[in-house]
Structure formats: structure tokens, C-alpha cells
Copies of this chain bind each other. A is one copy, B any other.
């Protein structure tokens, strides 16, 4: 699977250096953005922290309105409780999506405080998809902890996901803000797109590496990852009273930034640092995922592509994915290294980095359509930079 299901805030928190484009130390935003300022990541972490503070009371209130056991499973999923119900100090992620909602309101001159319910609704939808995607993908860990289904069972994880979708819509239905109905409709449309993206992801996983096109994979990534980031920005625009053009432009901004994120996340899934990302280097290769750099490499027509196809056709390396202990460790590492080198020689890494930069450039263009003043656009740019930036 590619990563709708990635909580990007965790995956990119303090990430390993991943060259994206341009000179070392600069992000992918490129021209027109100073090397220091919105792009230096400092402002982004403040924006994210502020969004978390804004949204958390509403999020807790919504989750705590769930009856008995559903509440307990949800509180576990959000990292607020351990499996036994005792309080946990864990983080529910870095609130990228709520931060995008609030920053979009601000970028268009609105009052972010009016959009806290909408920001919370987006976070609830994100978490509903995480719960369900983990069930479908049988993923065992999420945010460094066992997934809800693996602790409480598939039934409870499905039900709590269903309930979180309902809570999100309840928050918007109860919100007297005049933008709330349009936001609710847009969020509901987004859920359908997320479902289509997850279906496409699962369908692509079931096909051979030579039966998958790069365009299909990009379309899937847009639906799975870009759609909700775009929706978050669009909801912010609606709450700021933006017109259809501004709403669409901000949707486009979030989508393109989401694609850039996905490309970088896929690079991390091959060459990243497990200590920082929570995802072991090579995990996507071990699982024979058809991630974007791999599919680009396979489509390159190079000798390395043929070598990669042969390696991917073989059975996955020995040793459990994500573990490096026990027999087969060295053999597995050697095979993963061969696969990673083949992806790189076939141009998969360069393509992903260049394409991420291209997507970020498109994102910036969309943003400029709606928010020509760079000062006003600073918060959104900083967030987009954050999800795709190098670490210091």
C-alpha cells in the first residue's frame, strides 16, 4: 500500500535527510520563497502546535461523547490511553490537516477561531480512514503502537471508524457558521474520493509490477493522500468566505502539496531512517510495495528496470518486515540493498525528487492564485514545506 494511511506528521517529524531538489538545506518550494522565514520549519512547528491546542478540546469532547467501549477504542487510537484504559502521554500526531484548515482561513483574511469545528471534523475523518485502512491492509503498527484492530479486533476498529465519520459530520451539522453546510458536503465528497483511492491502492497491490502504470499510481496517490489535504484547505477557504475560485485554488494547493508529500514519503520508505520515521528503511521494498519511485523505475526502460522487475518478481526477502534480528538478517539486508540500488540506478529516486519539486511548484502556483500576498500565504507555505522538507 502507498500511504494514505501514513500519518504524515509522524512520518516526517525530524526526518532523515532526503534530497528533494535544489541546493542542500533548502526546501522544495523554490523560487520566491526565502531560505529563511516560512520555509525554515520553525514557523511550521509553531503553527502545528497552535492548531493542536485549538483543536484538542473539541476533538476530546467529540471523542468522549462516544458511548463506553467505542470511546475507549477511540481514545486508544488517538494515543490518549493505553490498551488497558490507563492514561497515555502519546501524541495523536501533529495535526497537519487541522493546521491547514486554520491556516487557510487566516490566509484569506478570516478568523481561524471560527473554523475550529471544521478543523476538528477533518481530523476525525483522517482518523476514521486510518482505522479502516489499517483493518484492510492488516497493518500491525500505527504511530509506533499496535493498531486498534490488532488490540481490540476488527469489528471494534470498523465500528469506531464509522463512529468517527459520523462525529465529523455531526460537528459540521451543529456548526452555525454559514459555511458549514458547504463544508459538510465537500467533506462528504472527499470521503468518497478517499474510499476510491483506497480501493485503487488495494487493486493495484493485487496486480503485477508490470501491470501498473505511473499515471494510475499518481491518480491513486492523489485520491488517497491529496484529496483530504486539498479538502482541508478548501474548508478553510469556505470558512473565510472565499469564492469558488479561491476554494478551488486552495484545494489544488493542498492536493499538489499532498502529492509532493507522498513522493517524499515513498522515498523515505526506501531510503529513510527507521530511527526517525518509525518506518524501517526498505520496509516498502520488503513488502514489495508498488510505491511511486519503484513504479517510475520499472517504467524507465533501463537495464536496471529489468533487474528490478526480476528482483520484485521474486519472493520478499527473509526476515520479518521491520525487524532486523535473527537468521536471514544479512541476507535480507543484502537483497534490500540490491533492490534499492536498482530503483536508484533506474532513476526512480531522482524522478520522485524532481516530481515532488514539480508538485510543490504547482502547489505554490495554486496558492498564489488565491492568496497573491506572500505574507498572507506564509503559514500555508510553511506547512507545505514542513511535510516535504529536509531535516536540519
Contact status of A196 and B70, CB under 8 A, knowing A185-B174, A188-B170: yes
A192 within 8 A of B: yes
Residues on B with C-beta less than 8 A from A135 are 158
A65 to B189: give the CA distance in the assembly, Å: 10
A184/B192 in contact, CB under 8 A: no
Least Cβ distance of A223 to chain B in Å?
9
B165/A165 in contact, CB under 8 A: yes
Contact status of A192 and B69, CB under 8 A, knowing A135-B158, A165-B165: no
A173/B181 in contact, CB under 8 A: yes
Instruction: Return the CB mask of A157-177 against B: 1 if under 8 Å, else 0.
Output: 011111101110110111000
Task: From B69, B162, B174, B199, give the contact of A191 (CB < 8 A).
Answer: B162
Closest to A69 in B: B199
A180 to B185: give the CA distance in the assembly, Å: 12
A203/B173 in contact, CB under 8 A: no
Residues on B with C-beta less than 8 A from A169 are 169, 173, 184, 188
A315 within 8 A of B: no
Closest to A66 in B: B192
Residues on B with C-beta less than 8 A from A136 are 154-155, 158-159
A68 within 8 A of B: yes
Contact status of A189 and B170, CB under 8 A, knowing A67-B196, A70-B196, A155-B202: yes
Residues on B with C-beta less than 8 A from A182 are 173
How many positions in chain A have a CB within 8 Å of any CB in the partner chain? 43
- B-facing residues in A190-220 (Cβ within 8 Å): 191-193, 195-196, 198-199, 202-203
Residue among A66, A163, A192 with max Cβ neighbours from chain B (10 Å): A192
A156 within 8 A of B: yes
Least Cβ distance of A124 to chain B in Å?
11
Contact status of A195 and B159, CB under 8 A, knowing A170-B188, A181-B173, A185-B174: yes
A290 within 8 A of B: no
B156/A199 in contact, CB under 8 A: yes
Least Cβ distance of A127 to chain B in Å?
13
Least Cβ distance of A145 to chain B in Å?
21
* 27 CB < 8 A contacts A-B: A66-B192, A67-B192, A68-B196, A69-B203, A70-B195, A70-B199, A128-B162, A132-B158, A136-B158, A155-B198, A156-B199, A158-B158, A159-B198, A161-B162, A162-B195, A163-B191, A165-B166, A167-B192, A169-B173, A169-B188, A170-B185, A170-B188, A170-B192, A173-B181, A173-B185, A181-B181, A184-B184
State the 4 A-B residue pairs at the shortest beta-carbon distance, nearest first: A170-B188, A173-B184, A166-B191, A173-B185
